[in-house]
A and B are shown apart, each in its own frame.
Chain A
Amino acid sequence: MSSVRILVGTRKGAFILTSDGKRAKWEISGPHFAGWEVYHVKGSPVDPNRLYASQSSGWFGQVMQRSDDGGKTWNAVGNAFNYNGATGTHQWYDGTPHPWEFKRVWHLEPSLTDPDTVYAGVEDAALFRSTDGGQTWNELAGLRTHGSRSQWAPGAGGMGLHTILIDPSQPERIYIAISSAGVFRTDDAGKTWRPMNRGLKSQYIPDPNAEVGFCVHRIAMHPSRPNVLFMQLHWDVMRSDNAGESWHEVSGNLPTDFGFPIEVHAHEPETIYVVPIKSDSEHYPPEGKLRVYRSRTGGNDWEPLTNGLPQSDCYVNVLRDATSVDTLDECGIYFGTTGGQVYASPDGGDHWSAIVRDFPPVVSVEVQTFS
Chain B
Amino acid sequence: MNPAETTRIRVVLPLHLQRLARVGSEVQVDVSGSVTQRAILDALEARYPALRGTVRDQATGIRRPLLRFFACSEDYSHEPPDAPLPKAVAAGTEPFLIVGAIAGG
Q: Residues of A at under 8 Å CB distance from B?
A: 34-36, 57-63, 76, 79-82, 102
Contact = CB atoms under 8 A, between A and B. Distances in A.
Choose among A60, A76, A81 the residue with the greatest number of B CB atoms under 10 Å from its CB. Answer: A60
B78 to A, nearest CB: 18
A76 B16 contact: no
Nearest to A11: B105
B20 A76 contact: yes
A75 to B, nearest CB: 8
A62 B53 contact: yes
B100 A61 contact: no
15 contacts: A58-B104, A59-B14, A59-B64, A59-B101, A60-B16, A60-B17, A60-B20, A60-B54, A60-B100, A61-B57, A63-B50, A76-B20, A76-B50, A79-B52, A79-B53
A59 B54 CA distance: 8
Interface in B19-66: 19-20, 49-50, 52-55, 57-59, 64, 66
Interface of B: 14, 16-17, 19-20, 49-50, 52-55, 57-59, 64, 66-67, 100-101, 104
Contacts of A63: 20, 50, 53-54
A360 B59 CA distance: 31
B58 A60 contact: no
Contacts, number: 45
A76 B14 CA distance: 17
Instruction: Name the prevailing secondary structure of the A interface residues.
Output: loop
B53 A57 contact: no
B52 A80 contact: yes
Given A59-B67, A59-B101, A36 B16 contact: yes
Nearest to A75: B50
Given A60-B64, A61-B64, A79 B16 contact: no
Given A36-B16, A79-B58, A59 B100 contact: yes
Given A59-B64, A79-B58, A35 B16 contact: yes
Contact of A58 (B55, B59, B66): B66
Contacts of A102: 59
